[in-house]
Amino acid sequence: MQAFGRLALLPAILAALLAALLPLAALAHEQRTVAGKYQFVVGWTKEPAIVNQLNGVDLKVTTVDTKQPVTGLDQTLKVQVAFGGGQPQEFALHPVFGQDGSYTADLIPTRAGDYVFTFSGKVQDADVNEKFESGPGRFNSVDDAIAYQVPPGSALDAQTQQRLADAQAAAQGARQTATYGLALGALGIVVGAIGVVLGLLRPKV
């Protein structure tokens, strides 16, 4: 009975874990302790981040021990933004209205892929030079706008149109391969059935 009771609690435990994890998954930000006493939460202000759409660096800073927001960092902290390993551009941070400890730097990402945010300066009395890079388990990479266009392909440049054509050709090839596979599978079933019938009709010795 005790084992049955523990099993009965399993769905409730799983539901609680899922409820706890869903906000983190939706946030798609990276959390990290910086200088031993500050919690940085870093990502994009708008998610998903899409090429050529206004977005920004999203930074939230609290103390590790008291969980209190750290204010005034727009005066002491800068952020550099780089696409992959390219040349970084520096942006000033400004506070988010009504959200103590939250800061942003407005920008428009112009390429799909991974970006690097580097925060440098001071957080209260601590020197900071911290790099955050988008990717799996961190914060979201920037997506190509084609994935969100309706209808797809409207007002696209030549390069994007070529990517769409390549993707469509690859999908068509995959469909043809699947069709051939289904045909071969059906043929195998027919051959197997014939073999079974012949075996049944074979005279017993």
- Return the pLDDT at 23: 40
> Measured between alpha carbons, how far is 103 from 72 in angstroms, rounded to an integer?
10
Class of domain 13-148 as given by CATH: mainly beta
Residue 173 pLDDT level (bands cut at 50, 70, 90): low
Q: What is the mean pLDDT of residues 169-178?
A: 53
- Angstrom CA distances, 24 to 136, 139, 185, stand at 13, 11, 43
Task: Please determine, for residue 27, whether its predicted confidence score (pLDDT) is greater than 90.
Answer: no
The chain-wide mean pLDDT, for the chain, equals 79
> Contact, 117 vs 71, CB < 8 A?
no
